[in-house]
Structure 1
Amino acid sequence: MHPDAETLLAEYPDIKMVEAFITDCNGAARGKWLPIEKLSALLSAGIKLPKSAIAQDAWGRDVPSVALDNGDIDGWCQAIPGSLKPVLGSHSVDQAQVVLTMFKDNGSPLLSDPRQVLAHVTQALETKGFYPRVAIELEFNLFDRQTAGQSLRDALPAPHQTGGNLYGLTALDEHQALLEALRHYFDTQDLPYEGVLKEAAPAQYEINVAYSDDALTYCDQIVRMQRGIRAVATRFGAQASFMPKPMEHQAGNGMHMHCSLLDNSGSNLFDSGDAAGTPLLREAVAGCLQMMSDTHLIFAPSYNAYRRFQPGNHAPTQPNWGFDNRTTALRIPA
C-alpha cells in the first residue's frame, strides 16, 4: 500500500471512496470518484483522463476542435504529492480527495492544464528572484434549493428583494449551523480559512482565505473550498452559487486576489515604506492595466461574467488603479 494511503486509512478507516480531481481552464473541478481500493494505484501510477476534460467551455461542454476533431485523446494525470486529504461528510470522514495535474505521453507538462501554466509562471518568477505571496476572497450566494416543479429562476430571491445588511451579523446567524459545518469541513482539510462575512447582494457571503507563499497549493485549496461550500450548502437545503451575476440589478460574485512579490529574504518588493510604493510596484500595475483587456478571456470567460461589470454593482468598469479605492480594478494596498 502507498505510505500516504496507509497513513490516511489508519486515521480514517471508514473511508470508502476517493475523489480525484483536476482543475479545468474555467476553474471548475473535473475528475472521478474511485473506490478506496484504487487509492494506492492512483497515488503511485496516476490515471488517464481525456485532455478535453480541462479544456471545456464555461458550461462544461466539449469544444469540438479540442475533443471531437482529434478523437478525444487521453492525457496522463499524476497525483500531486501531499495532496491526499480526508473529506468530512454529513456525519464523519467517509471520503478522501486527491488533486491531479496532467502530462503529455512523453512526460512533459501539458500546458492546457492551468495548474501546469501556473507552475511555469511561478518558476519563471523564481528565476528572477521573485516569490509571489497571494490571498483570495471567495464571494458566493446561498440560495434556497429548488422545490419540485420550480425553475432555478423562480428559486432566486424575488425581484423586489433588495440587497444590503452588508457585514450584518444577523445574516450570519441565519446560517449559523451551515457556516459552522463549513468551518469543520475546512479544518478537516487544513484549509486556510480566516472568516466569513455578509456581502452586499441578497444571500451573498464572502469567505476570507489566509495569505500563502505557495501559489500552486493555494489555488488547489481554493478549489477544495469551493467544492466544500457547495457540498455543505446542499446538506442544509441551500444551493451555493459562485455565478458572476446570478441576479440582475444586484451585486455579483467576484474573486478578489491580493498579490505581493517577495525576495529571497521574504521582504516585500512592492513596499517602499510609504504610500507611493516601489518602481517595481508601478511597473506591475502598468503591466496589469496593459494586459487587462486580453486577460478577461481568462478572468471573465462567460457572457454572465461580463454582465457583472456595471456601474454601481461593486465591480470595476474600466482598467484603472487607485490608493485605498474599492471602485478601481487595481487597489493599492490590496
Structure 2
Amino acid sequence: MTPREVLALCRQKEVQAVDLRFMDFPGTQKHFTIPVNALTEESFADGLTFDGSSIRGWQSINESDMLVLPQAETAMVDPFMKSTLAMTCNIQDPITRSDYNRDPRNVARKAEAYMASTGIADTALFGMQPEFFIFDDVRFDQNVHEGYYHIDSIEGEWNRGRFSDSKNSGQQIRRREGYFPMPPADTLQDLRTEIMLTAQECGIGIAGQHHEVATGGQCEVDLEHVPLLQAADNLLRFKYIVKNVAAKHGKVATFMPKPLWNDNGSGLHMSLSFWKNNETLFAGSGYGSMSELAMNAVGGILKHAPALLAFCCPTTNSYKRTVPGFDAPVNLTYSFRNRSAAIRIPVHTSSSSTKRFEFRCPDPSCNPYLASAAVTMAALDGIQNKIAPGMPLDKDVYDLPSEELTAYAKVPDSLEKSLQALREDHSFLLRGDVFTEDVIDTWIWYKTTYEVQAIRERPHPWEFALYFDS
C-alpha cells in the first residue's frame, strides 16, 4: 500500500482510529492511537512525536523526543479493536531525521540492506514456527515475603483427579504426549483454527497449526516463508492475534519458553534460505542436497551460535528449555532429518525451491527483528569466510554416550554465558553498521542489570525445599 491507499482504505472501512505500533528494545510491542482525521499523507514522512525516555533501553529524559513514522505497507484493519486501522512504525531522531540505531526494526532493515550490498543474495526468506501455551488461568507474584506461580489448564495431566462444578472429562494429555492428539483431548482445536484464520485475514500466510508435545495446552502455528523484515513484522502481529483470541475465549496465552517444569518448552524454529534473482542459492548436490554456500551458512551460524543465543534465547527462562532430555537442542551440530541437532536440514519434495535449513535453538521470547538480523549476519559471515560446518551428526544426540558427546560444542547454559559470548564475539554483527557497538553494549547492560542480576538476587521457591531446614 501507499499512504494514499491507506487513507482510501480508512474511508472504505469507515475507520475512526489509527493505532501506531512499534517494538521496544527488549522485544515488547508498544502502541498509541490517533483519530483518523489526524492521519494525512504528510504523516508518513513527517512522523508523530512520542516520549522515547519512557521506552525501555532507549533515550535519556533530556533527549526524550522521538518520531514514529507509519509504514503504509503494514496497514491492517484490526480485528479486535473497534473501527481501528493499525500500522507498524519506524523510529527516527527528530533533529537529525536519521533512523534510530536502537529501533529493532531498523536493525532488521539494515541487515537486509547489508545482505544486498554484499552481492551474495538479495533475499533472506524466514519461515517462523512459534510454539506457545494457552492456559485457563495463571497467578504469580514476587514480594519481599513471598514468591510463587500457579498455572492451570483443563488439558493438564495434573487435573486428572480434578473435582469441580462440571464433570471431569478424563481426557487430559499426559506429560510429553501432546503431539497431534485428537479432540476431545485436544481442547484447543477450534481456538487454534480461529487464530489461523484471523492471521490469514490480517495478511499472514499460514502453513498449518497443531497441538504440540507438552501437556497443558502447548500449540504451534507455522508461518509461511517471507523476507526477513516481513517475517519479523508477521511474528509480532501473530503474537498479538494469539493473545487476543485467547483472551476473547477467557484464556491466557504465553510465549514464555519454559512455563512448565519437566515438560517440553516452547521454541521458535527458524527456517532460512537465501535467494538471488528469484532463484534459491541453497539447492545443490552436497549433503542433504544442499549447496556449498548453504553449508557455509550453516558453518557461520554454528560458529557464532553462543553469541547468537544472546538475541535468540534472550531470557533467563530460555535456558530452562535448553536442557538435556527434551526436544530443544543442547549440542551445536547439524543433520539431515535429525530433529535433535541444532540445525536440521528438513526432507521435503525434490523441488529446489524448498531447500532450506532450520535453526532450532531460538525461542519465541526473542525480539524477532534482532534475532533474525543476527542469524542472517552469522550466515553471511559463514559464506564470506567459507566456514565449514564440520561433519554432520546423523545419530540421536539424546542417546549418545557422554564420552562421544564431548566432541561437540554445547549451547550456553545460562543467559549470563550467552551475553559473555556476545561480548567476545560480535564483530560480524557490526558489518554494514547493522548492529552498532551502542546496540551491543546496551543489550548486554540491560539484560545483565534487569534480568540476570534481578533473578540472582531473589529467593526461589525450590530453595526453600532444599535449604529451609538447614
Which TM-score band applies after superposition, normalised by the shorter structure? 0.7 to 0.9
* 1:211 has 2:211 as partner: no
| Aligned counterpart, 2:127 | 135
| Aligned counterpart, 1:59 | none
Structure 1 residue matching 2:317: 3-state secondary structure: helix
- The Cα of 1:98 is off from its aligned counterpart by 0.6
CA distance in 2, matches of 1:159, 1:119: 44
Give the alignment of 1:31-46 within 5 angstroms. 31-40=31-40, 42-43=43-44, 45-46=46-47
Equivalent residue for 1:79, pick from 70, 74, 83: 70
- The Cα of 1:72 is off from its aligned counterpart by 5.5
Equivalent residue for 1:189, pick from 191, 198, 202: 202
One-letter identity of the residue aligned with 1:205: C
One-letter identity of the residue aligned with 1:116: N
Give the alignment of 1:20-35 within 5 angstroms. 20-35=20-35
Which structure shows the higher strand fraction? 1
CA distance in 1, matches of 2:39, 2:148: 37
One-letter identity of the residue aligned with 1:268: T
One-letter identity of the residue aligned with 1:117: V
One-letter identity of the residue aligned with 2:212: E
CA distance in 2, matches of 1:297, 1:285: 18
- The Cα of 1:113 is off from its aligned counterpart by 1.2
One-letter identity of the residue aligned with 2:136: D
* 1:268 has 2:280 as partner: yes
CA distance in 2, matches of 1:172, 1:47: 49
| Aligned counterpart, 2:355 | none
One-letter identity of the residue aligned with 2:68: C
* 1:300 has 2:313 as partner: yes
CA distance in 2, matches of 1:47, 1:240: 32
| Aligned counterpart, 2:86 | 97
One-letter identity of the residue aligned with 2:133: N
- The Cα of 1:255 is off from its aligned counterpart by 0.8
- The Cα of 1:328 is off from its aligned counterpart by 1.2
| Aligned counterpart, 2:328 | 315
- Does the Cα contact within 8 Å between 2:313 and 2:319 map onto a contact in 1? yes
- The Cα of 1:287 is off from its aligned counterpart by 0.9
| Aligned counterpart, 2:445 | none
Equivalent residue for 1:168, pick from 167, 171, 181: 181
- The Cα of 1:253 is off from its aligned counterpart by 1.1
194-203 vs 25-34, greater mean Cα deviation: 25-34
- Does the Cα contact within 8 Å between 1:135 and 1:210 map onto a contact in 2? yes
CA distance in 1, matches of 2:7, 2:275: 37
1:220/1:171 CA distance change after superposition, 3 Å: farther
| Aligned counterpart, 2:13 | 12
Equivalent residue for 1:239, pick from 252, 274, 294: 252
1:260/1:10 CA distance change after superposition, 3 Å: same
Q: Structure 1: where are the runs of 5+ without partners?
A: 57-62
- The Cα of 1:172 is off from its aligned counterpart by 8.3
One-letter identity of the residue aligned with 1:195: G
Percent identity, aligned pairs only, is: 21
CA distance in 2, matches of 1:268, 1:172: 41
| Aligned counterpart, 1:117 | 107
> How many matched pairs?
316
CA distance in 2, matches of 1:332, 1:191: 24
One-letter identity of the residue aligned with 1:37: N
- Does the Cα contact within 8 Å between 1:169 and 1:198 map onto a contact in 2? no
- Does the Cα contact within 8 Å between 2:10 and 2:85 map onto a contact in 1? no
Structure 1 residue matching 2:274: 3-state secondary structure: strand
Equivalent residue for 2:297, pick from 284, 287, 301: 284
Q: Structure 2: where are the runs of 5+ without partners?
A: 142-146, 159-173, 347-357, 359-470
- Does the Cα contact within 8 Å between 1:165 and 1:171 map onto a contact in 2? no
CA distance in 1, matches of 2:335, 2:103: 33
1:176/1:200 CA distance change after superposition, 3 Å: closer
1:47/1:246 CA distance change after superposition, 3 Å: same
278-287 vs 244-253, greater mean Cα deviation: 278-287
Q: Give the structure-1-normalised TM-score.
A: 0.85
- The Cα of 1:282 is off from its aligned counterpart by 2.0
- Does the Cα contact within 8 Å between 1:172 and 1:197 map onto a contact in 2? no
CA distance in 1, matches of 2:116, 2:234: 22
One-letter identity of the residue aligned with 2:104: P
One-letter identity of the residue aligned with 2:103: D
One-letter identity of the residue aligned with 1:192: G
Query: 1:8-53: per-residue Cα shift (whole Å, max 9, x none)?
Result: 223321x333221112333321121333333337545322234456
Query: 1:147-186: per-residue Cα shift (whole Å, max 9, x none)?
Result: 8x9x983233468462423012326862344234323422
1:16/1:181 CA distance change after superposition, 3 Å: farther
| Aligned counterpart, 2:388 | none
One-letter identity of the residue aligned with 1:156: D
